[in-house]
Structure 1
């Protein structure tokens, strides 16, 4: 694969000189862990359905990483080859990324909710050489789906199945044989180690074009966020990090996979979010920190309140993805005893604004935090002129952790010559520099921290024979932040209901989380003189009593 991270070189000298880029990779940190704390618990992973728990010390983790890295090399994976991974929060996910980093390969995390439509595009666009999937997860046969996709993906040479029974199983190909003891192992493990500016992660994000965009990140860009993030939150080697948010999202990847290793700390993974299992893990593993979207915080606080099981070790909960209701902060503070930290970020940059740990709790309710070191924010009007504090406009971001660009689509990088990135969000800054996201200029709904690609779903609805016009708009939800409502105009003599729409989208292989959960049928759409649907009027309609 030829990567084109064109946004890296122009800012390298400044970022290094300012101390924002550290010119090291996750390999350096894992090696340091083995040298300084080999017998410390590095990773604990619980499978909720089976109750199976797997643990690795740092010494054991590094051995497995080297084993899988050599195994991948045996499959022909080398420098800049893409290894796609559609796994839940299993230990194999962490090991695969670290193994890719050993041999200079690029990991492409894929959400386990993705189905044929999303996967076929991402795997083709990213030219994945290897796809690693679970045999089954939550009742779905991933092996069968992936095998059906492979013939139409000429770059995809290998399908590897965790818990598989055949010759293509993860256990047979990668984690079983002691590949690390082979005579050529050290050569394979060292000859293509990536540099800090090489692409190390390819992560797709939903956009307004109807197709996902491949975000390219390097060690320097990700670590430029993780280091000041951990410092602001006073995290260190004594912390135990719980990650129940998917590691195929930047939240899970950066703060559940990479950050614990960089801190010489311990990570605890949970693959299916169940509040009581989360509470049990926090209590038995001594979890001190976690980060997730608002629904996780709601569920955890309710679970502790109803069960009476306290979580005294949980010091900090970083909540991002949607504004946090004031009542939730008050409830969570009372029953959890944790500091609730509001944050804002993007796949392209990581979490770049957080409130300070010693801020008043109201800051978490009224703002999305203030910038980390190396991060600048600017709110501008339609002409690009900076707006004063308190006025809402387009939010621009200039950050040491900004991505290297969108794969094969540099024309969409939305970054000007001075390094300002158009986030697509609307926001306002207060006099102290704290930001509040007030809306989104990009047409994306965030449901429980998961972006719904509105344009793509609308395009599919237009294919339904009964629908003349369609729009997907958000409506507020106390737990998930937002849900999706389909607003449609039907053709003369036709009828449609929500179950019919859901079944139609299922037939188009759309992920369940992307389905509209409410339907409004109208005789006509509110529109501009040019015929553009006025979605703000539809949102007002949904908010009307």
Structure 2
């Protein structure tokens, strides 16, 4: 009878989720009531915190951590509407502390653990946060940043994967002003504090602020709501788990893709196999173990996996590969589909599927997808996708008028994940009449209504009156067998304004002698004004990657301009 009562309670909870929805503040509590002791997360770097140092976390474990951390924040004086900056390593504490702040009704402001002290200081000042959470991995950078952020009145030290909270607390003592309260968050979490219920806040209230990468200026805080982050996730929470599917991710939780890729599978009953750091060889072996059903990464991770020999192994357990943050080369899509298996039953062997995701922090994650089914050749020319349910897209010219199919214009998107605005900047010019987001991406639309991504508006190279789209040239370069990675940027030219130049990482076993052939090859396949005037070989570590795995084109342009100038000067001296 007791077991039946338990089942009745669970199904009643599912019904409440379906008909009444669920706010992000109470989502983990609700998931724990529905899924209980089922496995939710597996980690490779356990926390140094008694009671929470396990490698396998159940839904109740997650709720226990989030609830206790929320209780400590409330005890410290955090109130609804306040901004709480989370600047920790990328272990599981990072997304859970953000959820704890949201549970309190506060606004979580995650910062990448690789951010510099200047970047941390800027976000602390810009957000006006009074509360900062750190761990031993970030204490050094935090101590320097706090001195430049007078609004900070309390710092809570969490345990991380690389040390206990006491270690971080001791490092901070004496480094911050006496009026700044330093609290051992980990120690207080182990005390018998009243947990309390999740805060009752409107779905339309801002609950998180994710800062943009700032590649075109100072980072802006994108204000996201519970409704935009959940986007109907309550429905997937109600679904029963038929079997344990595992998705492997190794993404920074301080960025929207990493946060959403952790949260949404958990709510949907998918086990998240979470790596705090990307290790190509170790992840290659895990993908080959047969215990992982899906993998989500950025294109640069797939390229590193190829270099580690992943596509020479049998990854038959992996049914689905997913990519986001940048355009995925078609050759990589083909290779990973070939070694994965959607179905493997004796003689019946069906290759894996591949999903590319288009989205941004301004859209709270994904807005469009391109599904490449088994045996389906990847579309040529880069990303070609369709909007997710609830989203609409349009392609417009400089005057805001829709362009005809096949013509290039700015991609604008409208949907449930749209940000509330930028902190202190309103719409920041990104939201136009009718609630359309100006993405800054250039795209065209096919006659069938599919969207073809062309490139970033800011990346377009204006050369002698022509527009050159780097993504198009990069896709073609990466079709050459000698080229593993290609990045195209504009470099100054005395008469044309700018000309395209390319940095390439050569495939294993290929040398710089190949560059002449690559230059000739690309020149035969694109218009003369699109062909890179110079192709420079670089090792991957020389490319200026940002924290989300995208190449910082502005910095690369400066690097290539300097190199080409040095070559010209050497030629003049010769």
Alignment TM-score > 0.5, same fold: yes
Structure 1 position 479, deviation (Å): 9.3
Give the 3 Å change call, closer, same or farther, for CA 365–287 of structure 1 in structure 2.
farther
Q: Render the CA deviation track for 1:78-113: whole Å, top value 9, x for unaligned.
A: 212222122343111122022112211111111122
Structure 1 position 173, deviation (Å): 2.5
Could you say what the CA RMSD is over the residues aligned between the two structures, in angstroms? Answer: 4.1
Among candidates 269, 279, 282, match of residue 277 of structure 1: 282
Partner Cα distance (1:21, 1:82) in 2: 31
Aligned 1:98-117 pairs, distance under 5 A: 98-117=99-118
Among candidates 421, 425, 430, match of residue 414 of structure 1: 430
Aligned 1:69-218 pairs, distance under 5 A: 69-136=70-137, 142-161=138-157, 162=159, 163=163, 164-166=165-167, 168=169, 173-178=184-189, 181-182=192-193, 184-186=194-196, 189-190=197-198, 192-207=199-214, 210-218=217-225
**TM-score normalised per structure 2:** 0.68
Paired position in structure 1 for 2:179: none
Q: Does 1:439 align with 2:455?
A: yes
Q: Render the CA deviation track for 1:321-350: whole Å, top value 9, x for unaligned.
A: 222222212211122343221221111111
Give the 3 Å change call, closer, same or farther, for CA 478–339 of structure 1 in structure 2.
farther
- Consecutive unaligned residues of structure 1, counting only runs of 5 or more, are 1-19, 137-141, 459-469, 481-501, 506-510, 525-545
Q: Is the 8 A contact 2:233 2:268 kept in 1?
A: no
Partner Cα distance (2:241, 2:85) in 1: 30
Structure 1 position 320, deviation (Å): 1.9
Partner Cα distance (1:173, 1:364) in 2: 54
Structure ID, larger Rg: 2
Among candidates 418, 421, 444, match of residue 402 of structure 1: 418
Partner Cα distance (1:145, 1:129) in 2: 17
Paired position in structure 2 for 1:16: none
Q: Does 1:265 align with 2:266?
A: no
Q: Does 1:293 align with 2:293?
A: no
Among candidates 317, 323, 328, match of residue 319 of structure 1: 323
Partner Cα distance (1:165, 1:474) in 2: 51
Q: Is the 8 A contact 2:139 2:168 kept in 1?
A: no
Greater RCO structure (CA 8 Å; 6+ sep): 1
Partner Cα distance (1:146, 1:21) in 2: 44
Give the 3 Å change call, closer, same or farther, for CA 42–471 of structure 1 in structure 2.
farther
- Specify the SS of the correspondent of 1:194: coil
Give the 3 Å change call, closer, same or farther, for CA 293–105 of structure 1 in structure 2.
same
Paired position in structure 2 for 1:245: 251
Partner Cα distance (1:479, 1:436) in 2: 27
Q: Is the 8 A contact 1:395 1:423 kept in 2?
A: yes
**TM-score normalised per structure 1:** 0.71
Give the 3 Å change call, closer, same or farther, for CA 80–283 of structure 1 in structure 2.
farther
Among candidates 346, 352, 356, match of residue 371 of structure 2: 356
Aligned 1:329-340 pairs, distance under 5 A: 329-337=333-341, 338-340=352-354
Structure 1 position 365, deviation (Å): 6.3
Partner Cα distance (1:129, 1:58) in 2: 30
Give the 3 Å change call, closer, same or farther, for CA 341–167 of structure 1 in structure 2.
closer
User: Which has the higher mean CA deviation after the structures are superposed, 152-161 or 377-386?
Assistant: 152-161
The total of aligned residue pairs comes to 445
- Specify the SS of the correspondent of 1:168: helix
Q: Render the CA deviation track for 1:119-170: whole Å, top value 9, x for unaligned.
A: 221111111222233423xxxxx31221122122112123334434357379
Partner Cα distance (1:118, 1:294) in 2: 26
Q: Render the CA deviation track for 1:281-309: whole Å, top value 9, x for unaligned.
A: 4456832223221111223345354773x
Partner Cα distance (2:332, 2:133) in 1: 38
Structure 1 position 34, deviation (Å): 1.8
Partner Cα distance (2:101, 2:243) in 1: 25
Among candidates 543, 547, 560, match of residue 519 of structure 1: 560
User: Which has the higher mean CA deviation after the structures are superposed, 512-521 or 155-164?
Assistant: 512-521
Structure 1 position 364, deviation (Å): 7.9
Partner Cα distance (1:227, 1:345) in 2: 21
Structure 1 position 41, deviation (Å): 1.1
